[in-house]
Structure 1
Amino acid sequence: MTNGMKKWMVGVLTGALAFSLTACSGGGSTGTSSNGGNGNGGAAEEKKLVIYTARDKNVVDAVIPKFKEKNPGYDVQVLTMGAQQILERVRGEKANPQADFWWGGTQSALMTAANEGLLEAVKPSFADKVPAQYKDAEGRWYGEMLLPEVIMYNSDALKKEDVPKDWDDLLDPKYKGKILIRGVLASGTMRTIYSSMIYRQDPKDPAKGYEWLKKLDANTKEYTQDPTNLYLKMARQEGVLSLWNLQDILIQKEKQKQPFDFAVPSSGVPILVDGVGVVKGAKHKESAMKFYEFLFEESLRVELAENLFQIPTRNDISKDKMPNWYKNLDLKPMNIDWAVMAEKEKEWMQYWDENIKGKGAK
């Protein structure tokens, strides 16, 4: 074959290949334009959603399939960790966000995240149905549900009359070695409870609260790694008392048939606002907003109250639609300035970890 013939054949093949690639790219061009020309994979990219959650597996398993059923084709990735761990991870990923939606965070953690510019300001359709005290003024987070913090106990091991009636009763020497506490620093729930114990003594003089926590530490047998270990050890009666949120206690009692019950401290309980938000710079913000709207639908809120004991923040849901356990609930909120709690929590918990944990008078 002559050199001229070789050049002619290469030219024909190159032209054919170029024509083929141009023809095949037609669908991609249409997809890009229909998606606002973002050039990041078109509509398929928008149907991805990455969620960081502190929610119990029972909640995730109840909600995500319903969302995917209502929104076919969505690739939903859920990473579960403690609320405080979510804050630290979102903070560490600020320059290149990996999550789209933060599902389950304490009021203090979300306020901190908002102040650090980690959350997107949005106004979903339900915004006006959430009272001002349960949301960020700029719409960077909204409270999804309320979590009363109470005293948890093993009902096989303790009679109701033998359970502490108030927070201070937990310091009684008769409970020494009977208290189990979920690892505090990684848990938004526990950080809130412990910070509340300092606050209720005197928010201007944390030394009084530190002394209280030192006495509680003296009665604490173990700080468990996570909720699963807490439940396991409580069920085995390795410890028979704890401090925990009402919702998870009821889930374990009613759904998992664990021998757990709760006592509402007579002086009042911290009622934690557990919220959600869109991560600033989320790669799939449209998907995150779709999940936001779904999560606050009235029918889902009522269903989650009925099946998973959640107390919704929405103020437009008729009490008649809510389950009996909710109607019969009698709670006295502890008077807390949550802005002060958000400001002081890190300092207080660091001091507790370095100076009190495991060092109470034995």
Structure 2
Amino acid sequence: MKKIFTSLMSLALVASLTACSGGSTAKTSQTASGSSGSGNSITVYSPHPAETINLLVQEFENKTGIKVDIVAAGTGELLKRVESEKDNPLGDVLWGGGAESLQAYAQYFEPYKSSELENIDPKYYAKDNTWTGESPLPMVLLYNTNLVSDENAITSWKDILKPEFKGKIAMADPAKSGSAYTILVTMLTAYKAENDGWDFIKKFYSNLDGKILSSSSGVYKGVADGEYAVGLTLEKEAIKYVNAGSPVKMVYPSEGTSAVPDGVAIIKGSKNIENAKKFVDFALSKETQSIMSTQLSRRSIRNDVEAPKGLGPLSDIKLVDYDFDWASANKEDVLNKWKDVLIGK
């Protein structure tokens, strides 16, 4: 049986990290116990990178005077945590993670219609307002130009099946990473004609050679550092390395890709509901969205904020016919089939 190499972040590890300010992923005070409902604080669960958390949480604290406690982990782990705490919620907001993953757990979120929605296309938020998109996220291929020649340049999903890339591909675990789940469904959609895409996925997993990362951050970092030749990742992270002059190229697969948004949602039963609403409004505001675009290279969910440096209009990108509702409703089944691929069924 092939070994699956992972760098798992268990909730116990999250607790130990977030309890220590020196070893946490964010600069703000962090906790694994959740919000106390003190009236001037909020507990935010987030899979966002430390750079995003540090910058925007500080902005929120400075703007509102509300103290933020962060619990950082992968989208899958955080959603399971929200579910397990449903009778006694310890968090107030889930900030980040693919919207179809949030939709799959919509019963654990509190509907909230932000005043910022007038500047956001309805396709980017839930009809019942249980979650709102904060940034559309095209999925891309990123490859290291020191490891991939111009003659062998990657242009499509199909290219990652080439024998020369066996064991040299970075992919996060779809069961733990919201973006990786979106990528998985995107490939299934692109190759739907082949056994609903699963024939392609089996070939793809074979080329991974058992190497699966537990965190999406390991993908783009690994490619930029030359640990992997190619990675399946998010546009918002890949473009940072492109703009910084790293030896990488970013590609929108010729078969088409997806642009599912990250989302933000208030956890049902939040002990700090008013502060939670303020955080959602803050995340969706033009000021915050502009910071995300200019400083974090994240596309804005708003129709009045320009695209980040180096990125063209979303309309220029070829997109597959991504069925958001199907991806959300069938997430458990898709992940079970993915698990079957891993164990060779």
- TM-score scaled to structure 2, two decimals? 0.83
Partner residue of 2:330? 344
Structure 1 residue 75, shift from structure 2 partner: 2.0
Q: Which of residues 233, 249, 269 is equivalent to 1:244?
A: 233
- 2:71 equivalent to 1:86: no
Partner residue of 1:47? 40
How far does the alpha carbon of each residue in 1:109-132 deviate from its partner, in whole angstroms, 9 at most, with x for none? Answer: 111111xx2111111111222211
Distance 2:170 2:308 in 1: 31
Q: Which has the higher helix share?
A: 1
Task: Give the match's secondary structure for 1:311.
Answer: coil
Partner residue of 1:135? 125
Partner residue of 1:356? 341
Distance 1:220 1:197 in 2: 15
Partner residue of 1:96? 88
For the structure 1 residues 122 and 206, does the alpha-carbon distance in structure 2 shift closer, same or farther, using more than 3 Å as the test? Answer: farther
Which sections of structure 1, spanning at least 5 residues, go unmatched?
1-39
How far does the alpha carbon of each residue in 1:325-348 deviate from its partner, in whole angstroms, 9 at most, with x for none? Answer: 234663112111211111222211
What is the aligned residue count?
309
Q: For 1:85-234, list aligned pairs within 5 A.
A: 85-114=77-106, 117-202=107-192, 207-221=195-209, 222-234=211-223
For the structure 1 residues 352 and 165, does the alpha-carbon distance in structure 2 shift closer, same or farther, using more than 3 Å as the test? Answer: same
Partner residue of 2:253? 265
How far does the alpha carbon of each residue in 1:203-234 deviate from its partner, in whole angstroms, 9 at most, with x for none? Answer: xx884422111111121141123244434543
Distance 2:102 2:322 in 1: 17
Distance 2:242 2:309 in 1: 16
Identity of aligned residues (%): 25
* More displaced 10-residue stretch of structure 1: 95-104 or 264-273: 264-273
Cα RMSD after superposing both structures? 2.3
Q: Is the 8 A contact 2:140 2:234 kept in 1?
A: yes
Q: Is the 8 A contact 1:206 1:348 kept in 2?
A: no
Partner residue of 1:7? none
Structure 1 residue 151, shift from structure 2 partner: 0.6
The one-letter code of the counterpart of 1:88 is K
The one-letter code of the counterpart of 2:191 is Q
Structure 1 residue 162, shift from structure 2 partner: 2.2
Distance 1:227 1:84 in 2: 12
Task: Give the match's secondary structure for 2:233.
Answer: strand
User: Which has more radius of gyration?
Assistant: 1
Q: Is the 8 A contact 1:149 1:245 kept in 2?
A: yes
Distance 2:78 2:95 in 1: 9
Task: Give the match's secondary structure for 1:357.
Answer: helix
Distance 1:137 1:98 in 2: 26
- TM-score scaled to structure 1, two decimals? 0.79
The one-letter code of the counterpart of 1:336 is Y
For the structure 1 residues 161 and 310, does the alpha-carbon distance in structure 2 shift closer, same or farther, using more than 3 Å as the test? Answer: farther
Q: Is the 8 A contact 1:218 1:358 kept in 2?
A: no
- 2:46 equivalent to 1:60: no
Q: For 1:9-20, list aligned pairs within 5 A.
A: none
The one-letter code of the counterpart of 2:57 is I
Partner residue of 2:263? 275
Distance 2:126 2:194 in 1: 27
Task: Give the match's secondary structure for 1:326.
Answer: coil
Distance 2:169 2:308 in 1: 31
Partner residue of 2:23? none
How far does the alpha carbon of each residue in 1:43-92 deviate from its partner, in whole angstroms, 9 at most, with x for none? Answer: x82111000001111111110111111122x2210111111222111011
Distance 1:286 1:206 in 2: 49
Partner residue of 1:70? 63
Distance 2:150 2:236 in 1: 19
Q: Is the 8 A contact 2:219 2:233 kept in 1?
A: no
